[in-house]
Amino acid sequence: MNLRDLGEDRLLSQLLPHLTLGKAVVAGPGDDCAVVAIRGLGELLVLKTDCVVEAVHFSRRTKPFDVGWKAMMRPLSDFAATSAVPQFVLVTVIAPERTDVRWMKGLYRGLQRASNRFDVSIVGGETSSTSGPIAVSIAAAGFVEKERWVSRRGGQPDDDLFVTGRLGGALKQRHLRFVPRIVESRWLTKNFSVHAMMDLSDGLGADLPRLARASRLGYTVDVESIPLTRGATINDAITEGEDYELLFAVSRRDSARLMQRWRKKFPRLPLTRIGSLNRISKIENRKLPRGYTHFQQPR
Amino acid sequence: MNLRDLGEDRLLSQLLPHLTLGKAVVAGPGDDCAVVAIRGLGELLVLKTDCVVEAVHFSRRTKPFDVGWKAMMRPLSDFAATSAVPQFVLVTVIAPERTDVRWMKGLYRGLQRASNRFDVSIVGGETSSTSGPIAVSIAAAGFVEKERWVSRRGGQPDDDLFVTGRLGGALKQRHLRFVPRIVESRWLTKNFSVHAMMDLSDGLGADLPRLARASRLGYTVDVESIPLTRGATINDAITEGEDYELLFAVSRRDSARLMQRWRKKFPRLPLTRIGSLNRISKIENRKLPRGYTHFQQPR
């Protein structure tokens, strides 16, 4: 069997549970970021790597600045998902020897502009040659207060599900220029009890089942309520991915206050309740509209 | 100009000094590891990424276990160079979709065996597809006491230069099975004042000038004293690389006591004085034997 037939989720689930994790590891493989406790420190250390590969995540025609921006912002979006503050990154560039130095400088301008946006320091760089496509991998480290760390796992039955921004249509342009929702995420965990959260990178249709599965819950979604980018269809919003918006669960009794305070704090960024979590019930999941088979809870 | 013409050292030196480093950054680009101060913590956070690429660092015939072992041990060797204790790693695998799952499992067995050797936890994994060769990147995090951190920069005039083990001939087999000198490095900084240290990955002829340059010093080396692997020539020892032994500088007055205590502590691992650091002097550098042009201090 090869990697395509197996798929990344199943591959990692086969490889990773066998790993011996130390007691310090609060969240390991399967969450947006790794979260570990450090002796003598009140905060948790948060680690994440993410890579973009030519012909997979960007094309030869993509501007190197945009490649750098996206490569940096993707892992920082995982920090937003964890409500953590990124501080330090290391950059690995795997590129053919024929790569033009100007391309590399453009890449680094994008990397630096993106990291500066969140006061993140690029503290190291490594390059390696390859005979194949260019790959840029970012390793990021940062911290989160013990009481503000959020994973995908903490969703409760009857929690309301929210998404920030609008979904769909990101592949046209926005996926190269997005700004991770770190400010919003930090505000959320400062003011509300966020039970579970993740960033939407593979599309709501792939990502929401991951959050629900991690929380051992089912869900219902009112697909008509999904906030759409102008010109995008519901199907685009569910399947395209690359939105880098936040999906999160809060107690139903906090919902009204959250919506009210959010509108004051972030008047230009929509916050939308799209559904709720529930105890797993095959009957409820059958009620989901046909055509969105991604939305069925596989158990 | 392309990357081959420029070379990695010069490329990174062009890209990285423009980066804005926060005040917390103790060692950044150019050192073996990035070292950063964390508010509220007595120890320094140490970060390193390193990648191996098919057809550059390993071949299609290399056993996946060996690829995993080497991929993991290379960045851990940089922790040895810094006298830091690695604790957590993230694994990025970029591989074609046709890659056999058995190959991936072999890779992970090697990664895990290597990380277990030093009680390091693999806390996350990511895979991405590619149309090109396989690449495995490891991002490692750990800690070092503020008073035991070592860089390449602290060499003093008249310091003696030492190397552990034997050099040359690593490419035949040893480069796939080496054990980073973490135990030895930690013992060194517990018992001696090590002024400068690095691990030998590109060969003494490339690496020693880097240490000297970082310390703003010149050096003299007695090439006849270089400890050779059985069957290797002096030229092999200087140029081949992949030794992953330690090169370090200590005060001349500590040398005798160091040699004595080392022999008791590590009776099976040679420690050899190969030369010394000095104030930069073109005359002295000209005295170096012809044929080892790598050894001239370029200023």
Class of domain B160-295: alpha beta
Shortest CA distance from B123: residue in chain A: A28
CB B271 within 8 Å of CB B188:
no
Asked if B128 and A56 come within 8 Å (Cβ–Cβ), the reply is: yes
Asked if B137 and A105 come within 8 Å (Cβ–Cβ), the reply is: no
Which is it for strands A85-94 and A271-278: parallel, antiparallel or unpaired?
A: unpaired
* Residue B20, pLDDT score: 61
* Residue A298, pLDDT score: 39
CB A59 within 8 Å of CB A9:
no
* Residue A292, pLDDT score: 39
Strand partners, B121: B88
**What would the mean pLDDT of A223-238 be, rounded to a whole number?**
92
CB A134 within 8 Å of CB A65:
no
The whole-angstrom distance between A37's CA and the closest CA on chain B is 11
**What would the mean pLDDT of B271-289 be, rounded to a whole number?**
70
* Residue B281, pLDDT score: 56
ipTM for the predicted complex: 0.86
Which amino acid, one-letter code, is at B13? S
Tokens found for residue A184: 């919003």
Q: Would the pLDDT of A139 be above 70?
A: yes
Which residues in chain A have Cβ-Cβ distances shorter than 8 Å to B105?
A: 14-15
**Domain extents for chain B?**
3-145, 160-295
Looking at the whole model, is its pTM more than 0.95? Answer: no
* Residue A66, pLDDT score: 96
Shortest CA distance from A14: residue in chain B: B105
Q: Which of B15, B48, B101 sits opposite A1 (nearest CB)?
A: B101
Architecture of the structural domain at A3-145: 2-Layer Sandwich (3.30)
Query: Mutating which of B54, B88, B118 best tests the A interface, going by the most A Cβ atoms within 10 A?
Result: B88
CB B144 within 8 Å of CB B46:
yes
Strand partners, A72: none
Q: How do residues B150-188 score in pLDDT, each as one tens digit?
A: 999 999 999 999 999 999 988 777 778 899 999 999 999
* Residue A174, pLDDT score: 79
* Residue A52, pLDDT score: 94
Top-confidence range, A37-51, A151-165, A277-291? A151-165
Tokens 């400068």 belong to: B196
Asked if A15 and B104 come within 8 Å (Cβ–Cβ), the reply is: yes
* Residue B30, pLDDT score: 73
Q: Would the pLDDT of A281 be above 90?
A: no
Which residues in chain B have Cβ-Cβ distances shorter than 8 Å to A104?
A: 3, 11, 15
Asked if A90 and B47 come within 8 Å (Cβ–Cβ), the reply is: yes
Which is it for strands A218-221 and A121-128: parallel, antiparallel or unpaired?
A: unpaired
pLDDT band at A29 (very low <50, low <70, confident <90, very high): confident
* Residue A27, pLDDT score: 81
Q: What percent of chain A has pLDDT over 70?
A: 91
Q: How do residues B59-114 score in pLDDT, each as one tens digit?
A: 999 999 999 999 999 999 999 999 999 999 999 999 999 999 999 999 999 999 99
* Residue A41, pLDDT score: 85
Shortest CA distance from B119: residue in chain A: A22
**What would the mean pLDDT of A182-198 be, rounded to a whole number?**
98
* Residue B285, pLDDT score: 45
* Residue A169, pLDDT score: 85
pLDDT band at B133 (very low <50, low <70, confident <90, very high): very high
Q: Would the pLDDT of A145 be above 60?
A: yes
pLDDT band at B3 (very low <50, low <70, confident <90, very high): confident
Asked if A129 and B53 come within 8 Å (Cβ–Cβ), the reply is: yes
Give the lowest-confidence range in A229-238, B80-89, B252-261.
Answer: A229-238
CB A143 within 8 Å of CB A85:
yes
